[in-house]
Amino acid sequence: MEPKRIVGTTFAGMAVLAGEAYYAARRRLPSFEGLDPSGTFGDPDLPGLEIVVLGDSTVTGPGVQNPDDLFVRRIARYLSDQHHVRLRSYAVGGARSSEVLRTQVPLALEHSPHLTFISVGGNDVLRAVPVPVFERNLEAIVAAMKVVSGAVVLMGVGDIGTVPRVPPPLTKIVSLSGRIADRVHARVAERNGAWKADHWGWSAQAFREPAMFSPDLFHPSPAGHLVWAETVYPVVQEALASLATRPS
């Protein structure tokens, strides 16, 4: 069996176990609807900055009550001191990479954003999507958005093993699955001249604290979204600095 097939099969096997752990741990825990982070921020007289967001519940934030606590809105507010920011999110909770490609990308292609965020992969891990399939989907998403977007920022996939819902016997397996998916993000970003956030440094350590998670013990709390915003914002600054000034 060729190396890619071995990696894909191994990832699928680990993900099946992770998915079983997720569904078992889901019982008797609260669930929440997600939020739409879309909005406008900053003085309309400032230079315009268009942002499009694609992804899953990492964007919509189930368990977060105030949309201003979502990491993408925090970033929009950080940028609003120098820009009039228009944020459009097409993210849907539970979305896998195939669904982002099929249903969200066509909507996003109707715009020409300065910046595109892509936050997807956790559901691919938990639903046993083989690595080569996930990588092809992510590649297609980034390639499509590069055509219309000034810069593309990939969120990567963090240490899913820190999620409290995952039973301790399987945390290492889930962590490894998340690391594999994060490396896919890194490869796709490098091939396409995109930017990627690092969720395996300070952010991963921060998420070992229970306060980082909502009452569903799966999705980030407002404190978790703050950590994500502070992790991603320096990458956003670098991406925007690389762009020539565009008309609003």
| pLDDT, tens digit (0-9, with 9 covering 90-100), for 164-215 | 988 877 888 889 999 999 999 999 999 999 999 999 998 999 999 999 999 9
For the chain, what percent of residues have pLDDT higher than 90?
76
User: Domains, the chain, ranges and CATH?
Assistant: 3-28+37-241 (3.40.50.1110)
State how far the Cα of 93 lies from the Cα of 131, in Å rounded to an integer: 21
Mean pLDDT estimate for the chain: 88
Q: Which of 12-21, 109-118, 200-209 has the highest mean pLDDT?
A: 109-118
The residues with which 84 forms a beta bridge, in sequence order, are: 48
Q: What pLDDT score was predicted for residue 244?
A: 59
pLDDT band at 41 (very low <50, low <70, confident <90, very high): very high
Q: What pLDDT score was predicted for residue 28?
A: 55
User: Which residues touch 29 (CB under 8 Å, ≥6 apart)?
Assistant: 165, 215, 216, 217, 218
Q: What pLDDT score was predicted for residue 2?
A: 37
Q: What pLDDT score was predicted for residue 127?
A: 87
pLDDT band at 243 (very low <50, low <70, confident <90, very high): confident
The closest of 59, 99, 77, 74 to 220, measured between CA atoms, is 59
